[in-house]
Amino acid sequence: MSQSDRVQLFDNWARYYDAMVALPDAKFPFDGYDQLLAEVARLAGVKPQMRILDLGIGTGNLAARFVRAGCTVWGIDFSAEMLAKAHAKLPKVELVQADLLSDWPAALRQPFDRVVSAYVFHEFDLETQVGLLRRIASQHLSANGLIVIADIAFPTVAARTTASQHWAFDEDEYYWAADEALAAIERIGLQATYQQVSSCGGIFTFTTRTAG
């Protein structure tokens, strides 16, 4: 799928994304959606006035939790329609339209206390995921900062393989297997932990080795 096709897909998806994730019987890929977002906010351990960057902010569901906690929030997304939905909910959040893998605009060239994301990184293969995390940790994370990511994920490669036989995986998406991801991430100097939250969702927390 081309980049323009992917942007169009997410622009169209913006119209019904919130209704879809709110379904009470949601299965793959949104089983435990609210629980994952709540756990990201808990693990982030924020205080009022902390500076938060939400990667792939979408319609603003994760960012809203940090706004309510009294944080100052920025959000980046490549979909104009997703950003419009986020702005309607969260008019005080500074929103930036850009691709996560491109050069970020000047507004984001600063350190953040927490960098968070939900249901975004599986759009990239493991090498790209690791490279993006390295870039964030070295260029956009304050001292003692945290990166907290919720996504479609499984504890092991074997568990992911089993899940792929049960659910129809998208060939253009790269769902995490925590055992292979943690090994790759620790090789770039980040400390990482993982917890499984739902049948198909988990949360990674990353810190630099110098964070206290």
Domain spans in the chain, listed from the N-terminal domain onward:
3-208
Beta strands 190-196 and 201-208 are antiparallel
Residue 59: per-residue pLDDT: 98
Residue 5: per-residue pLDDT: 80
Q: Residue 139: enclosing H or E segment and its boundaries?
A: helix 126-139
Which pLDDT band, with edges at 50, 70 and 90, does 209 fall under?
Answer: low
Mean pLDDT of 174-199: 96
Residue 93 has φ and ψ, to the nearest 5°, of -75, 135
Class of domain 3-208: alpha beta
Residue 24: per-residue pLDDT: 83
Residue 80: per-residue pLDDT: 96
Residue 210: per-residue pLDDT: 58
Q: Half-sphere exposure (CA, 13 Å, Cβ side) for 99?
A: 9
The tens digit of pLDDT for each residue in 121-178 reads 999 999 999 999 999 999 999 999 999 999 999 999 999 999 999 998 988 899 999 9
* Encoded amino acid at 189, one letter: G
How far, in Å, CA of 194 to CA of 168, rounded?
Answer: 24
Q: What is the pTM of this model?
A: 0.95
Q: Give the C-alpha distances (Å, rounded to integers) separating 69 from 40, 60, 64, 127.
A: 13, 14, 9, 33
Residue 13: per-residue pLDDT: 83
The tens digit of pLDDT for each residue in 38-70 reads 999 999 999 999 999 999 999 999 999 999 999
How far, in Å, CA of 207 to CA of 128, rounded?
Answer: 18
Alpha-carbon Rg for the chain, nearest whole angstrom, is: 16
* Encoded amino acid at 105, one letter: P
Polymer length in residues for the chain: 212
Mean pLDDT of the chain: 94
Q: What is the dihedral of CA 14, 60, 195, 173, to 10 degrees?
A: 30
Please, which residues have CB within 8 angstroms of residue 171's CB and are 6 or more apart in sequence? none
* Residue closest to 159 by CA, chosen among 205, 131, 194: 194
Higher pLDDT, 113 or 170: 113
Query: What tokens appear for 157 in the block?
Result: 């490669």
Residue 13 has φ and ψ, to the nearest 5°, of -65, -25
pLDDT at 211 over 70: no
3-state secondary structure at position 174 = coil
